[in-house]
């Protein structure tokens, strides 16, 4: 890191008022302490009185920033500690600017990772999550009715509310049966569940099943995040949503597993479809 942006004063909480802590406000004082601890060698931080005071001051300094992101002040202080160990921090023109910027990034990563239900490591690779947003369950979407009436959410009376609940149960059952069908051929149930839920979620934004298959097939980021090879991902889309080729229109292959289940076809009937089971088995990711 060769250039650093000065921290925003609004991100720093008021420093402790005692004189022992105020001395750490100076970037030069921080640099001197970091250099001394580095030169002392391994274990220098553990029993050093000034190091303990520095970490208490750091927790107080970033308390407001931690609260803003819903984190504990000592979680943020731990992130600051990791940055303080880096040689670039000791050599920077303003060590506090480096620490503050790193802490800001860490807070954002923690919140983003929690919202997307992924590890912080994946969030730090921004190219992998570009265009993604916090996880939302498919039942929270409002525009799935174009795919099938069972996804509609338009109830305004008590009777309609009961019907809506019944539709939600049917959708949840169809998705669960889809996962069970894939798992019966050797697919990992957890991976299939993630894939099927993502497909159901995206249906609310796409115009048709054929369009959904094509759009999702071209999205190479999702299968990478879900841990599914592109070949298996494309096959899963065609099996679940139906093959988009016009020659399959009106056939079981064209309808897809999800529509067949939502239309009332029992799971046992799909289990007896040897062609379908063979396609699911062939699409299974290799170990």
CA distance 261 to 176: 10
Contact partners, residue 65, CB within 8 Å, separation at least 6:
11, 12, 13, 76, 103, 104, 107
Contact of 78 with 62, CB cutoff 8 Å: no
Q: What is the pLDDT along the chain (287 residues), one digit of tens a residue?
A: 333 334 444 444 434 445 545 678 888 999 999 999 999 888 889 889 999 999 999 999 988 988 887 888 888 888 899 899 989 899 888 999 999 988 888 887 776 655 555 555 544 444 444 444 444 555 555 555 555 555 554 545 444 445 556 667 788 888 888 888 898 888 888 888 888 888 887 776 666 667 777 788 887 777 887 788 888 988 888 888 888 777 877 788 878 888 888 888 888 888 888 888 999 998 888 75
Q: Using CA atoms in the order 43, 48, 51, 56, what is the torsion angle rounded to 10 degrees?
A: 120
Contact of 26 with 122, CB cutoff 8 Å: no
For 124, counting Cβ atoms within 10 Å of its Cβ (0-12 exposed, 13-18 middle, 19+ buried), the class is middle
pTM higher than 0.85: no
Q: How many CB atoms lie within 10 A of CB 213?
A: 22
């Amino acid at each position: 890191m060769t250039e650093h942006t000065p921290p925003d004063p609004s991100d720093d909480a008021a420093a402790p008022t005692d004189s022992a802590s105020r001395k750490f406000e100076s970037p030069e004082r921080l640099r001197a302490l970091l250099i001394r601890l580095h030169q002392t060698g391994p274990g220098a931080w553990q029993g050093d009185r000034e190091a303990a005071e520095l970490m208490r001051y750091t927790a107080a300094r970033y308390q407001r920033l931690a609260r803003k992101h819903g984190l504990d002040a000592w979680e943020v202080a731990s992130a600051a500690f990791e940055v303080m160990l880096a040689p670039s921090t000791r050599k920077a023109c303003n060590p506090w600017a480096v620490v503050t910027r790193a802490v800001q990034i860490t807070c954002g990563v923690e919140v983003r990772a929690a919202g997307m239900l992924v590890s912080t490591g994946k969030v730090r690779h921004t190219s992998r999550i570009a265009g993604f947003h916090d996880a939302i369950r498919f039942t929270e979407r409002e525009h799935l009715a174009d795919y099938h009436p069972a996804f509609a959410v338009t109830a305004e009376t008590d009777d309609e509310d009961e019907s809506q609940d019944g539709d939600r149960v049917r959708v949840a059952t169809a998705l669960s049966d889809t996962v069970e069908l894939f798992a019966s051929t050797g697919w990992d149930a957890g991976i299939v569940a993630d894939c099927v839920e993502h497909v159901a979620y995206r249906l609310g934004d796409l115009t048709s099943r054929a369009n959904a298959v094509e759009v999702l097939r071209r999205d190479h980021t999702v299968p990478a995040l879900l841990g599914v090879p592109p070949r298996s991902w494309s096959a899963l889309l065609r099996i679940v949503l139906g093959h988009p080729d016009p020659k399959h229109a009106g056939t079981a292959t064209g309808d897809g597993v999800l529509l067949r289940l939502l239309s009332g076809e029992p799971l046992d009937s799909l289990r007896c479809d040897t062609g379908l089971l063979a396609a699911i088995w062939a699409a299974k990711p290799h170990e």
